[in-house]
Structure 1
């Protein structure tokens, strides 16, 4: 029962996190159109491999916070700095994304490694899982342990893989729409992280 609960929670949370337009699922769509669905699945496999460990790390950090409340202020301070830096980075990405860039062909044999590299650049994964799992712990839906974290990570890996596979399957139908949304995501994320970061800074001061 615990196994099923943790896997389902991981699957649902990862699916919700993966459904939002981002550079990861946009890459899946473009890669699927250019190299085929099979190659895109190898790319997604690279994403999912890294997300497995990111979910584990997020679960561990959330357990540390819940058991050591004296670290909350320090985490808030570090988190505020990270949010402000992320905000500046998203604004930079939004500005540079307007410039036309030459498409780089990726060999099918390197799709998996390329997926791992891109997933490592996904700076929101660990904070996302950290926040989600902390929320679940607070509601007493999740109790941290190594085995529970492992089950949760298995579910999150399956959830991410499933959602990205859907993007790869319907790539030709959603490319233009997803591209239009994703082109504005950096601006939206920059504004959101900036507002939250400044809000936290004012609160800490």
Structure 2
């Protein structure tokens, strides 16, 4: 498959998936609002690097599952379950406000980004389910070292969103204020993808 296409798909999915307000992008927002854009970029870069590692491990695990015939038959069902759970969880949490902690005016933003990025383990089931969905629809075909191009797109998309938040903090603040509506969008999308996976599994069984 075209490597540029893999990168673009990873980038777009990651950028859009990172828009709903969460601990990481709200932290970057706080840096931006306090005039510390460079610290916000360091924080976002650190979180993006952690996501690269998590996504790479997750996609490699997905490739292992798809190459193992004993898992392939029910993988549509598994991805449907994961996507549905993520969608419902996103909808239920749409009314909860992410914590807004005071930012530190110190160069420790990169270290803080690494720590918070490591605790953001929800990216693992998210990328497992999204990648499974994309491959099952032949939107992407990931084999061997191609996964690093796809994952590089994911990491770049995350950092691009963080940079957008840092430099457009005043505009993004409106997104946070309307989080009830914004957070429902990915929930609806994930739930739709999950139900569609259930439908395909039912039709194939």
* TM-score (normalizing by structure 2): 0.71
User: Aligned partners of 1:16 and 1:117: how far apart in 2?
Assistant: 23
User: Aligned partners of 1:133 and 1:147: how far apart in 2?
Assistant: 15
Is contact 1:58-1:133 (8 Å) kept? no
Q: Which residue matches 1:162?
A: 160
Output the aligned Cα RMSD. 3.9
Deviation per residue, 1:27-67 (Å, 9 max, x gap): 11112222511111001111110111122122112223323
Q: Which residue matches 1:172?
A: 170
Q: Which runs of 5+ in 1 are unaligned?
A: 201-205
Within a 5 Å distance, the mapping from 1:1-205 to structure 2 comes to: 2-68=2-68, 70-71=70-71, 72=74, 76=78, 94=96, 103-175=101-173, 177-182=174-179
Is contact 1:14-1:157 (8 Å) kept? yes
User: How far 1:185 sits from its partner (Å)?
Assistant: 8.2
User: Aligned partners of 2:137 and 2:186: how far apart in 1?
Assistant: 27
User: How far 1:159 sits from its partner (Å)?
Assistant: 1.1
Q: If each structure's helix is expressed as a fraction of its own residues, which one has the higher value?
A: 1
* TM-score (normalizing by structure 1): 0.71
Is contact 2:28-2:40 (8 Å) kept? yes
Q: Which residue matches 1:203?
A: none
Q: Counterpart of 1:146 in 2: which secondary structure?
A: coil
Q: Which runs of 5+ in 2 are unaligned?
A: 199-205
User: Aligned partners of 1:52 and 1:37: how far apart in 2?
Assistant: 22
Compared with structure 1, are the counterparts of its residues 184 and 67 closer, same or farther at alpha carbon in structure 2 (3 Å cutoff)?
same
